[in-house]
Structure 1
């Protein structure tokens, strides 16, 4: 059974990746014979103002979203885990997981409507509360468009992350909690001294997956802002899409993808090397 799986993996994963590496050193429009250009695509990118803007945007986006999408699901998972009723634990898990069935594109369209400057829910609510001074063109203002995109998904209880943290909490031995209880530990100390260290393996996994997902993010800015206004919500994945499929610069687009790959590889190595899970409770 492993051989067919390995063949499929090579055909649909490794082979396209190797092809992308090769074409990133060429000038290719997708139709004519590619022309080898060496490192010119990479040199051009690091002199390209749009690419540098997209890198800055994704850096800010990644830092903020990683913190939020780690912390909020962990806190919610802890709250659910410590409910006395197993039935209520199950009900809350189901309620938080239900949004997974909503296609991402549908969620983005709903948020686009909510952000509408004229009839959107957000501005209507602000007007109702007498906060007219806070009304904004959320997706049309280059100073706030990127942050408006980051806010999509509020309250940020990522179902996948929630379930991983919940499973991690279940793996903590009951004797650990009993020892902590005998030590008179408070809930806050329990959270920071027991639960966070003992689910650090799950933190590492979610951190890696979240960073990869954010660096490859294309659909959200494409659907909601198309990278605008101007280049204020450009990210590398979106710029790669425009270069390849709108401008016909497939070689340059693949160079962007290789830069993303190297960044992901480096960040993954850092996380694997320096984030180590604890296995015991230290009073």
Structure 2
């Protein structure tokens, strides 16, 4: 009887959260999938049922594969810098030689991550300006005129220029996450490694990495999932150009919904984004072992 009462009480406590998730998460997802089966615009009183034609059109669109490639490229590069490089930077700052200056460096690295990307995007547009930008002016001042490029105007370079801005902005956030995790590592571990004759590099691989693996997983999934929900960075810097070479799923969805007024087609793109992020989330659960029973 007590077990039954406890279950009822637990269900009662969980009810508000279940209602919230159902209304604001599950219901919109179901409606989005439903709308993806129709052709309509924002002001149309009627919707025309077309089945999976929106998805057929999407998978036949070469821009879709450009967007997938750009999102994946963003995810890979972000993983290398925002996880790999951030982990190395955090380990360096945690070393006893830099601990006194760590508050200064923490502030320097973290400040860009709290600034609105609208501000950062406008700043980097000036930096990348082919005529007055600091990058090209600096290269020309060094006599490296051949290296000066129209960074956001070249279809081969624009996506890399946009990706770099994100690395500069968000690497500090993950540095802070790793520093927090490293602060929780018992000092005895490092003392034992020193007694065994381990240097900084060996201690990093033998002590630091195993101790922060959960934070590495969290940072990795935040970074990779964010790569497939990318929008602000590309929209502000290039709007998907030049020639749609920097198009990503987010800007493709925005273009379909708010420029072309093709709501059903936009819903199909949103469904694909949901499927990708859901699969990545399931991978996270599998890798973290949270699905296993204790």
Structure in which a larger fraction of residues adopt helix: 2
| Separation in 1, partners of 2:250, 2:34 | 19
Aligned partners of 1:200 and 1:275 also within 8 Å: no
Q: Paired residue for 2:25? A: 13
For residues 50-199 of structure 1, what are the structure 2 equivalents within 5 Å? 50-83=63-96, 87-153=100-166, 155=168, 158-199=171-212
Does residue 27 of structure 1 match 2:52?
A: no
Unaligned 5+ runs, structure 1: 278-283
Instruction: Report the CA distance between 1:270 and its aligned residue.
Output: 2.2
Q: What do residues 87-137 of structure 1 show as CA deviations (whole Å, max 9, x unaligned)?
A: 533333233222234211100110011111111111000000110010111
The alpha-carbon deviation at position 162 of structure 1 amounts to 1.4
Counterparts of 2:77 and 2:106 in 1: how far apart (Å)? 25
Match of residue 250 from structure 2:
237
Deviations 1:208-251 (A, max 9, x none): 11112111111111111111110110001110110011111111
- The structure-2 alpha-carbon separation of the partners of 1:2 and 1:90, relative to structure 1 and needing over 3 Å to count, comes to farther
C-alpha distance in 1 between matches for 2:98 and 2:82: 26
Q: Conserved in 2, the CA contact under 8 Å of 1:108 and 1:223?
A: yes
Q: 2:82·2:167 contact (CA, 8 Å) conserved in 1?
A: no
**What is aligned with 2:275?**
262
Structure 1 residue ranges (4+ consecutive) displaced by more than 6 angstroms after TM superposition: none
Counterpart in 2 of 1:48?
61
CA drift of 1:84 comes to: 5.6
* CA distance 1:77–1:53, change in 2 (3 Å): same
Are 2:93 and 2:102, in contact at CA under 8 Å, matched by a contact in 1?
Answer: yes
Contact 2:128 2:150 (8 Å CA) reproduced: yes
Q: How many residues align?
A: 277
Superimposed CA distance per residue, residues 25-44 of structure 1 (whole angstroms, 9 cap, x where no aligned partner): 22121222222222211111
Worse-superposed segment, 198-207 or 80-89: 80-89
Structure 2: which 5+ runs fail to align?
A: 1-12
Separation of aligned partners in 1, 2:109 and 2:62:
41
Q: Deviations over 1:145-164 (max 9, x none)?
A: 11111111454662321121
Q: Structure 2 CA distance, aligned partners of 1:98 and 1:174?
A: 29
Counterparts of 1:108 and 1:60 in 2: how far apart (Å)? Answer: 20
CA RMSD of aligned residues (A): 2.2
1:178 partner SS: helix
The question of whether the paired residues in 2 share the 8 Å contact of 1:73 and 1:156 is answered with no
Q: Is the 8 A contact 1:83 1:89 kept in 2?
A: no
1:57-78 C-alpha deviation (Å, 9 max, x unpaired): 2112211121111012111211
TM-score, normalization: structure 2?
0.87
